[in-house]
């Protein structure tokens, strides 16, 4: 898993502090300290799995000696009722870690499943499905990892690694041309400049200003097709806004290079996964 180990450990520590606090009152009251158990984690619906290394890290943070045997790997498509993980060890830590481990696994698998579905719908087209910054606070790296597991690609990770000139920037600058010029002066020379536009006049101005990437915000497929013809390869084009399973194929068929979908992370349904004791 390509996630910084220190960042992951820090995140898990914060989440455990939130959930467990000073102790698991219920488990510590009912389960003896020396009790041992075996459990399985199962999928209760079909989907694409993501987050197994995170779930394992949660269990091991609570008990380094827990046995965690994954029977599938991130990126695998699983069926309802399929066993994903077998775990065994001291009962108290397993029960204490259960909810947080499942929360991560369910959320990330939901993101991966949704992404895989949209990627499947644009198969054969040049367009690449990408995410946005509309992520759960504190979980951006994990959710963007899940997008990659599902076959999508990542847009910028934050405000620090790419320039995206949006509507409000343009209003303050006065025009697309001025905004692009100012961004070009202020950003490192290796950074590409992307501009959000709402119509074909904006596409033309962005092209003339030298934008590297143009985001077509809430345009119809017909407008996007005209934008592709207008750009003629002079800039990469990204479709954004209102993308659904019903229209993504039509959007991809216009010839755009990227399709960004905020719903991959901001309103995705978690995959139904649970843990059962044997």
76 is catalytic: no
How far apart, in whole angstroms, are the C-alpha atoms of residue 169 and residue 166?
Answer: 5
Annotation marks residue 234 as catalytic = no
Closest CA to 49 of 123, 136, 111, 131: 111
Inter-residue contact 110 to 267 (CB < 8 Å): no
Residue in 166, 171, 192, 269 annotated catalytic = 166
241 token code pair:
């806004």
Dihedral of alpha carbons 45, 58, 152, 231, sign: positive
Is 63 a residue of the active site?
A: no
Of the candidates 56, 98, 143, 196, the residue annotated as catalytic is: 196
- The residues that bridge with 47 in the sheet, in sequence order, are 78
Count how many Cα atoms sit within 13 Å of the Cα of residue 177 in the half-sphere of its side chain.
4
From the candidates 134, 225, 226, 234, give the one annotated as an active-site residue: 134
Q: Which of 60, 99, 117, 249 is an active site residue?
A: 99
Q: Judging by beta carbons within 10 Å of its beta carbon (0-12, 13-18, 19+), is residue 2 exposed, middle or buried?
A: exposed
Q: Which of 24, 74, 205, 217 is catalytic?
A: 217
The yes-or-no answer on residue 192 being catalytic is no
Question: Are β-strands 67-70 and 83-90 bridged in parallel, bridged antiparallel, or unpaired?
Answer: antiparallel
CA angle 54, 26, 19 (to 5 degrees): 35
Question: Which two tokens mark 270?
Answer: 């978690």
Beta strands in 147-197 (DSSP E): 163-165, 193-197
> Is 171 among the residues known to form the active site?
no
**Catalytic positions, please?**
99, 134, 166, 196, 217
């Amino acid at each position: 898993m390509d996630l910084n180990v220190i960042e992951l450990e820090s995140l898990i520590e914060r989440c455990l502090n939130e959930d467990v606090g000073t102790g698991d009152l219920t488990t510590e009251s009912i389960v003896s300290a020396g009790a041992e158990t075996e459990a399985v984690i199962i999928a209760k619906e079909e989907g694409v799995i993501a987050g197994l290394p995170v779930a394992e890290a949660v269990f091991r943070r609570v008990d380094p000696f827990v046995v965690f045997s994954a029977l599938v790997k991130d990126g695998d498509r699983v069926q309802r009722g399929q066993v994903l993980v077998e775990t065994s060890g001291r009962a108290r830590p397993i029960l204490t870690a259960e909810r947080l481990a499942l929360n991560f696994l369910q959320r990330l698998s939901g993101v991966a499943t949704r992404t895989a579905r949209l990627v499947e719908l644009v198969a054969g087209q040049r367009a690449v499905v990408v995410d946005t910054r509309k992520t759960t606070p504190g979980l951006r790296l994990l959710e963007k990892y899940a997008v990659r597991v599902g076959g999508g690609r990542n847009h910028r990770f934050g405000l620090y690694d790419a320039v995206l000139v949006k509507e409000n920037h343009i209003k303050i600058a006065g025009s697309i041309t001025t905004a692009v010029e100012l961004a070009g002066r202020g950003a490192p020379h290796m950074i590409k400049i992307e501009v959000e536009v709402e119509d074909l006049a904006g596409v033309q101005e962005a092209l003339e200003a030298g934008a590297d990437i143009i985001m077509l915000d809430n345009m119809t497929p017909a407008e996007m097709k005209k934008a592709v013809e207008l750009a003629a390869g002079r800039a990469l084009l990204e479709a954004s806004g209102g993308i659904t399973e019903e229209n993504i194929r039509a959007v991809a068929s216009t010839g755009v290079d990227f399709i960004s979908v905020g719903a991959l992370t901001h309103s995705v349904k978690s995959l139904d996964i649970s843990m059962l004791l044997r």
